[in-house]
Amino acid sequence: MGLVSGMFMGMVFGISLMAGWRHMMKYRSTKRIAKAADIKILGALSRDDLKKICGDNYPEWISFPVYEQVKWLNKHLSKLWPFVAEAASAVIKESVEPLLEEYRPPGITSLKFSKLSLGTVAPKIEGIRVQNLKKGQITMDIDLRWGGDPSIILGVEAALVASIPIQLKNLQVFTVVRVIFQLAEEIPCISAVVVALLAEPKPRIDYTLKAVGGSLTAVPGISDMIDDTVNSIVTDMLQWPHRIVVPIGGIPVDTSELELKPEGKLKVTVVKANNLKNLEMIGKSDPYVVVHIRPLFKIKTKVIENNLNPIWNETFELIAEDRETQELTVEVFDQDIGQDKRLGIAKFRLIELEPETPKEVNLNLLSSLDTLKIKDNKDRGSCTIKLLYHQFNKEEQLIALEEEKRILEERKRLKEAGVIGSTMDALDGAASLVGSGVGMVGTGIGTGVGLVGSGVSAGVGMVGMD
């Protein structure tokens, strides 16, 4: 009897001990899990959440802007700035000088920094936004504002004049920097970083140019040339969809996915223009059209003299890298002695085109694209173009990529040989204003360069099609 009751008691005791233990386990486990959930929620609070928690005692100092404020980072940055400025000067000099060389306008023979210091005012980060737009990528947008006092002196050598030191003053940079981190499964977990300036809102880079110990008027058009160079670098190198890809951390990865690649081909037919503005004193304007997607690849039609309703009917092909954000820029110029005047400019967003469907559009010309700068709303006429967008398949893409590389190399070679600068000067003094386009190379030296011209000297096909 004792044995049985003892066994029974023992069993009940043993089972209840286990049950109790399990209860404790469960209790502690739920507590921990609940805490984990709380911490997770509190790591990403929204305004409504906070309102719910705090009720009437909602703290006034808290706001939830789209770009989260980073006051602490700014404080650190301003303290660190003297050291960063010193360290960065050398790096910038090294990395930007080759760029300046590549993008320098033809009228200038050498463009170098003779003094570079970043000043005492640190950039300010207005806010940071982190998004997950694509799988395996983290997109970080940094709203950067820098109204600094850097001292940048450019040593500019023009063809005729000896070196002129030009000072860049009152530099102001307002832009949103987009940094994309490509994730990897090995430490440091980031295989590459893509840096670009967001196109919308448009980056604002303001500065004033001043010649040291002289006047800028000594070389006419030099400030325009520098503006043009800076603009080209920014829009063609840094502004989205163009980007800088930096591989990180020794992991050999294929970054070609991240690089900007030719995506399609845009066939542009410049048909005609109507009611152009007359800027000539005697007679009528001598209009020609320059079209480009990237400023590095500009193409120009022939000049039709003394006509305000010119008909060109010329066809070009342009490469598009990112249909979603890129635009076709159409500029109408008046050929003139000295500098050519711009009669009007218009943009057309490529996203509005259906692939393989021809479209004819009539673009209203504006005096400038910057709405702040437009003084008059006078009608500057219109320009009619026909567009056909062709999406590349893999093979075509490769061919286009090779072609693009080849053209760039050709251009570089010509530049080194001094062909471009001098040829352009000799041919057409005004050409320099139109800029550093390959199209110009084509017009300047024709098919001799090895580019494929399409019969008319001006029409240079970007890709050797058919």
Which residues, numbered 69-88, are part of the site for another protein (CB under 8 A)? 69-72, 75-76, 79-80, 82-84, 86-88
* Residue 59 or 455 having the CB closest to another protein: 59
Choosing from 92, 96, 99, 128, the residue that interacts with another protein (CB under 8 A) is 128
* Residue 52 or 359 having the CB closest to another protein: 52
* Residue 169 or 267 having the CB closest to another protein: 169
Contact flag: residue 356 with another protein (CB under 8 A): no
Please say whether the beta carbons of 154 and 112 come within 8 A: yes
Please say whether the beta carbons of 182 and 136 come within 8 A: yes
Contact flag: residue 9 with another protein (CB under 8 A): yes
Closest CA to 242 of 130, 74, 103, 345: 103
Closest CA to 463 of 390, 414, 412, 413: 390
Q: State the nearest-atom distance from the C-beta of 134 to another protein, in Å.
A: 11
Q: State the nearest-atom distance from the C-beta of 75 to another protein, in Å.
A: 6
- Distance of alpha carbon 105 from alpha carbon 436, whole angstroms: 6
Number of neighbours of residue 135 by Cβ within 10 angstroms: 6
Place of tokens 């070679």: 413
Q: How would you label 198-231 residue by residue, b for 16+ Cβ within 10 Å and e otherwise?
A: bbeebbebebebbbeeeeeeebebbbebbebbbe
| Number of chain positions touching another protein (CB under 8 A) | 81
Contact flag: residue 27 with another protein (CB under 8 A): yes
Choosing from 8, 347, 409, 450, the residue that interacts with another protein (CB under 8 A) is 8
Structure tokens at 347: 């943009």
Contact flag: residue 11 with another protein (CB under 8 A): yes
- Distance of alpha carbon 343 from alpha carbon 203, whole angstroms: 25
Contact flag: residue 68 with another protein (CB under 8 A): yes
Please classify residue 75 by burial: count the beta carbons closer than 10 Å to its beta carbon, then call 0-12 exposed, 13-18 middle and 19+ buried: exposed
Per CB under 8 A, contacts with another protein among 32-61 are 32-45, 48-50, 52-54, 59, 61
Q: State the nearest-atom distance from the C-beta of 136 to another protein, in Å.
A: 8
* Residue 184 or 248 having the CB closest to another protein: 184
Per CB under 8 A, contacts with another protein among 141-170 are 149
Q: State the nearest-atom distance from the C-beta of 183 to another protein, in Å.
A: 5
Contact flag: residue 378 with another protein (CB under 8 A): no
Choosing from 160, 187, 337, 372, the residue that interacts with another protein (CB under 8 A) is 187
- Distance of alpha carbon 387 from alpha carbon 376, whole angstroms: 29
Choosing from 130, 218, 398, 426, the residue that interacts with another protein (CB under 8 A) is 130
Residues 6+ positions from 170 with CB-CB distance below 8 Å: 149, 206, 207, 208
